[in-house]
Amino acid sequence: MANVLVVGSGLAGLIAAIRATDAGHTVTLVTKAGLPDSNTRYAQGGIAAAMFPDDSVESHMVDTLRAGAGLCDPAAVEVLCTEGPARVRDLIRFGVDFDRDESGVTRGLEAAHSRSRVLHAGGDATGAAIESALVATVRERAERARTLPRGTADAGPRLLIREHTMLVDLAVHGGRVTGAVLLGPDGQLRSRAADSVILATGGAGSLYPHTTNPALATGDGVAAAWRAGAAVADLEFYQFHPTALAVPGTPLVSEAVRGEGAVLRNALGTRFMLDVHPGAELAPRDVVARSIAHEMAGQDGTPVLLDATGLGRDLLERRFPTITAACRQAGLDWATDPIPVAPAAHYWMGGVITDIWGRASLPGLYAVGEAARTGAHGANRLASNSLLEAAVFADRAVRALGASRVDGVDAGAALDRAAADLPRSAAPFVPGRSTPGNAGPFADREGIQRVMWQYAGVLRSGEGLAVAAATLACWSRPATGPDAAAHLDMQIQAYEDANLFDLARITVAAALGREESRGAHYRSDFPASRPELAHTVAFSREPNESNTEAEEAIAC
């Protein structure tokens, strides 16, 4: 049995901790905030799976591949859609109470799905319902392990929970991940040894000032993996949700609202999506987000309007209680008036490259959930596939722990889906180097967010991305460590800002190198897709065995 460190407490991290504990491993689960705090908690749309007689795995695969715009890994898509129904049944077994009607489990239709296959819980509180059930399960496992009688074969804890504990860096020795450096709630840095580390740290919505993610989404795992020498890929593909409520905090307005029949209107009241795409409001997310951005540009930046008045107050309050509450808090009544919406950073298709068992290019390291680039999403994630991916690949990563062969496949050979043989596009290029020793000012979060939103947001151009790259190259990486900040909150923010700075530079460089428009990546100077272009791969030149900063390189 292995000593496993799981980092992150969203759906992916909680499933990994539960599965690894049940398999007999010794597990330490660390999370930067409280155990229930994660991106999962804020997910509204639901979880997609082919679980009904009029649906099929094949249909779900076709929809996923179509949304991914030619960059999905078909093997990963097959795993996602084939194993998805079983993982949803696991969630039910762990206590998730999906919504029901007289015919059974309720299901909804969302953009780019050819069938109604999206399950919800609590109306638009699916993520919160899943998070609550899994947190309870994890706490039960931890308590059960803690109270096992001493002197038995099962004596001693198998699941330790460490809240308010931040991942700072991965420990690498002999080309293998051997644990992590963690910042504890007492402000002390400590090393935690592990046979395997499973990153489930989510995305990096805090790269942008407008995001549906909580503030803790700062890409800590992806940044640490990249610094340690693991390959990351496709970071330019950041999905912007088309409809966030255009009020402070940018709360998400689920795609399921449009699935129920709500429509988008510009300032003149015109339903503009009818002239953009055959799917109108249910076109793929990138299409809807760009169309809204164009409409906003033509009306001096004023948000567009989501008109859900035709759905009726009863349906809105029953089906979407979270959104209804957010509207009321902002002084809006969406049952009687259209509400202002605008795009916001929502989900990262890129991340740490893994094979279909969650294994990264560094031995001993696994990545699951939004932190991973499994290949299941390609250039544009299909709505409600994110929770499914987290459940499916977290389960698979635990099954692969310490195994030299999985399902008859050699573990090393399986990694040919990862960095070494991943097809790349164009020629290598290296972003401008910036270190704490530069004469330039230290980067700060507000500055990073401003640059990313203006030049690497929904609409991009080569000229703008070049400005972004030059601006970031003139800044120094934020200083980190106990000597850089006196208070714990300031220390945490410094580490987060350093991670965002690293990721911003890689993301901008990748976006600048991808001279095409595809999926969530749109270049006004290259509006057409180029099928010959494959993946962007960012990597440290050598594995960072001593945790000193490695030279960066990006192949595109």
Gyration radius (Cα) of the chain, Å:
22
Sheet of 166-173: strand order equals: 166-173, 176-183, 189-193
**Would you put residue 356 in left (φ > 0), alpha (ψ -120 to 50) or beta?**
alpha
- Of 171, 497, 535, 556, which Cα lies nearest the Cα of 364? 171
Question: What is the Cα 192 distance to its own chain's centre?
Answer: 25
- DSSP code at position 519: T
Question: E strands within 279-404?
Answer: 304-307, 339-348, 351-353, 365-367, 372-373
The CA distances from residue 208 to 136, 340, 346, in Å, are 32, 19, 10
Q: Which of 285, 381, 396, 445 is catalytic?
A: 285
Q: Is 258 helix (H, G, I), strand (E, B) or coil?
A: helix
Does residue 227 carry a catalytic annotation? no
Rounded distance between C-alpha atoms, residue 164 and residue 397, angstroms: 24
Query: Is 502 within 8 Å of 477 (Cβ atoms)?
Result: yes
Q: Pairing relation of β-strands 176-183 and 372-373? A: unpaired
**Would you put residue 175 in left (φ > 0), alpha (ψ -120 to 50) or beta?**
left
Question: What is the Cα 416 distance to its own chain's centre?
Answer: 23
Burial of 171 (0-12, 13-18, 19+ CB in 10 A): buried
Q: Is 183 helix (H, G, I), strand (E, B) or coil?
A: strand
Query: Is 286 within 8 Å of 382 (Cβ atoms)?
Result: no
Q: Is 372 helix (H, G, I), strand (E, B) or coil?
A: strand
Residues labelled as active-site residues: 285
